[in-house]
Structure 1
């Protein structure tokens, strides 16, 4: 490290170090946000399913659908359990459908780009 002999150079060095510290804090905060996102229950389930598919070698949508339906069924049984109540059964079925849909939904960033491009090129109605 070079020796600093005047106040102006010292102040410049301090400013550079403060800017570097701010950038590093922003990077840390972004990393924490990513970790929080990955630890959400739905994302944990999705990541686990993807790992199972890769490990076992499932390539088709049939395996993904079967696993999604199974997780939806387990969610229904876990929350509602066995009951004779019609209202609880309806609620459980709706819960099962929602969980199955959420787990089976694939996140494809290219889909978002295609939707944005189609919005940009829509002809104007006059």
Structure 2
């Protein structure tokens, strides 16, 4: 930074620094929002499924569907367990359906990359 002697140039430098600070804060807020979005449980599951697909080389829809169904089943077993209650079994089946559908749907970042 250069030495400034006049009040006008000092005020101009202050304005420039405030504009720069505002831009940097906006960038930080955008970064935090992106991190929050990536840390949502559904996105963590989706990212894990995508990494498994890339690592193992699953390219077919059948393999991706099988993984989605498996994750849905695990979610049902994790939440409901082995219950004899009809209500819990219905709730577990609905949960399995919802989780399977959410995991199998492509999300925004996949659309942007394609």
Q: What is the TM-score with the length of structure 2 in the denominator?
A: 0.92
Q: Structure 1: where are the runs of 5+ without partners?
A: 112-126
Corresponding position of 2:78: 78
Corresponding position of 2:21: 21
Once superposed, which parts of structure 1, at least 4 consecutive aligned residues long, lie more than 6 Å away?
none
CA distance in 2, matches of 1:71, 1:110: 19
Corresponding position of 1:59: 59
Corresponding position of 1:106: 106
Give the C-alpha shift of residue 109 in structure 1. Answer: 7.2
3-state SS of paired residue (1:58):
coil
3-state SS of paired residue (1:2):
coil
Q: Deviations over 1:60-85 (max 9, x none)?
A: 11111000000000000000000111
3-state SS of paired residue (2:59):
coil
Give the C-alpha shift of residue 22 in structure 1. Answer: 0.7
Matched, 1:50 2:11: no
